[in-house]
Structure 1
Amino acid sequence: MASNDTTASGVLVVGLGRFGSALADTLDAMDVEVLAVERDGDLVERWSKRLPVVQADATDPRALEQMGAEEFSAAVVGVGTSLEASVLITGNLVDIGMQEIWAKAISTEHARILRRIGAHHIVFPESDAGARVAHSVGGRMLDYIEIDEGFTIVKMRPPLETHNFSLAELKLRDKYGVQVIGVMSPGGEFEYGSKSTVLHADDLLVVGGDGDLVERFAQRP
């Protein structure tokens, strides 16, 4: 197994299906060094004008070695429909000592196998997207991200009772167990929340805390 290189950087994205291509394209737009790996020639041709792409079969460890995969600090395995390919690719990345491995899973059993062989993070694209939409539909929440079990960050509109009061006056952590991380006013820039921050009806709040507590706060009128 290769040793981790602290100078490694960039993200290797394996698979240019809908999930992998969207992720690679977004990383590239963010000026993150990215290299996409895809064995389908049609997909390689489609994306080669927009992204750095290598046509290769990542289930073959020699292919990863030839493209210098160990020089990247993170990898995303976007192959999900073929469980065998997903497992082989993830195992190959573990063997070369990849520092961070994110792997797409299509079932809990698939996820269990990926974790067992060494994937650091498991992604369920469709169910994750569904959960975010479900939390946003019909309420004050505009976006919902579960950072870890027990901690959630949401973007939301401020409840009526908070309008025109400062965070010091509201004492939201004491009253509701949530923390206003930041506030964005219309046309303004994001500002971190402080005791003197006053909330207005047309502000957008970034709120963090226990998932259940954040949801209860977001459901207040």
Structure 2
Amino acid sequence: MPHSKKVSDKRILVIGLGRFGSSMSLELVNHGWEVLGMDSSPRLVQMFSDALTHTVIADATDDEALRQIGAAQFSHAVVAIGTHLEESILATSQLVDLGVPDIWAKAVSRRHGRILEQVGAHHVVLPEHDMGERVAHLVSGRMLDYVELEEGFSLGKTKAPRELLGKSLRETRVRHKYGITVVSVKRLNEQFTYATEETVLHKGDLIVVAGRTEDVERFAESN
């Protein structure tokens, strides 16, 4: 493997420099990570050779190629191959065999994701599916932002409903009534801060609430 620019445990191997892999790699570099970007496409490798810490043209399904670049020395790896399912699964399996302790893999469907988990991926992401769900919640409801932390449990950002204004969160009994918890609040022209039982909401406040997805949606609709 090429000599690193600095010694750090914030090193990661990213396999696949398409839209997902490249955007993630660039963001990691911006956050101080050393990224080795790997792809079988000379064009993609050349495109990001100056932006990433290291790049290499190699076939991720070839265990010898992974050994030569020192894949086993990385604590983190991402398999960002999306369209070629067999290559995605084989590359993930190779990293598992090499003992990489933290493997993330991109899936294009839930079935693909299950297979990746079965071969040993520690984390599976479905970016297109997750974004589709998120936008559906935003379009169909009154939430300003939405994140599903796991199946059935979500965070939602919305405006403070009129019925909660001028009262402390303890007085509103919002958790008892809606089954959600107000976790943070943002005043006009201020940053988000954590909410307590003594927090009093005012007109124009934005709040982030947590709870079961159906309860978060019901609360947002009450606005």
TM-score (norm 2): 0.88
Q: What do the CA deviations read for 1:19-47 (whole angstroms, capped 9, x no partner)? A: 11121122222223332212211111111
Say whether residues 1:176 and 2:156 are aligned partners: no
Letter in 2 for 1:88: L
Question: SS of 2:189's equivalent?
Answer: coil
**Deviation at 1:8?**
5.1
Decide whether aligned partners of structure 1 residues 132 and 166 sit closer, same or farther in structure 2, where only a CA change above 3 A counts: same
Q: Tell me the alpha carbon deviations over residues 34-81 of structure 1, each in whole angstroms, 9 at most, x when there is no partner.
A: 322122111111112222222222111222222222333222211011
Name the amino acid aligned to 2:198.
S
SS of 1:173's equivalent in the other structure is: helix
Q: CA deviation at 1:201?
A: 2.7
Choose the corresponding residue for 1:92, options 71, 91, 94.
94
Of 68, 71, 76, the residue aligned with 2:70 is: 68
- SS of the residue corresponding to residue 58 of structure 1 reads coil
* Residues 200/68 of structure 1: CA separation in 2 closer, same or farther (3 Å cut): farther
Please report how far the alpha carbon of residue 9 of structure 1 lies from its aligned counterpart in structure 2 after TM superposition: 4.1
The correspondence of residues 1-221 of structure 1 with structure 2, limited to 5 A, is 9-52=10-53, 53-137=55-139, 139-221=141-223
Instruction: Report if the CA contact (8 A) 1:165-1:199 is conserved.
Output: yes
SS of equivalent residue, structure 1 residue 154: strand
Separation of aligned partners in 2, 1:187 and 1:11: 37
Q: Distance in 2 between matches of 1:98 and 1:155?
A: 36
2: CA distance between counterparts of 1:81 and 1:43? 15
Q: Residues 92-116 of structure 1: CA distance to partner in whole angstroms, max 9, x if unpaired?
A: 1111122222211123332222111
Is contact 1:105–1:111 with CA below 8 Å preserved after alignment?
yes
Is the contact made by 2:34 and 2:52 (CA closer than 8 Å) also made in structure 1? no
What secondary structure is seen at the aligned counterpart in 2 of 1:98? coil
Number of aligned residues: 215
Deviation at 1:138, TM superposition (A): 5.0
On the 8 A contact 1:9/1:72 being kept in 2, the answer is no
Q: C-alpha offsets along residues 132-152 of structure 1, whole Å, 9 cap, x if unaligned?
A: 111112533122111112321
Contact persistence 1:9–1:71 (CA under 8 A): no
Alignment gaps of 5+ in structure 2: 1-7
Q: CA deviation at 1:202?
A: 1.9
CA separation of 1:214 and 1:54: change in aligned 2, threshold 3 A: same
Give 5+ residue unaligned stretches, structure 1: 1-6
1:3 maps to what in 2? none
Taking the aligned partners of 1:182 and 1:77, their CA distance within structure 2 comes to 34
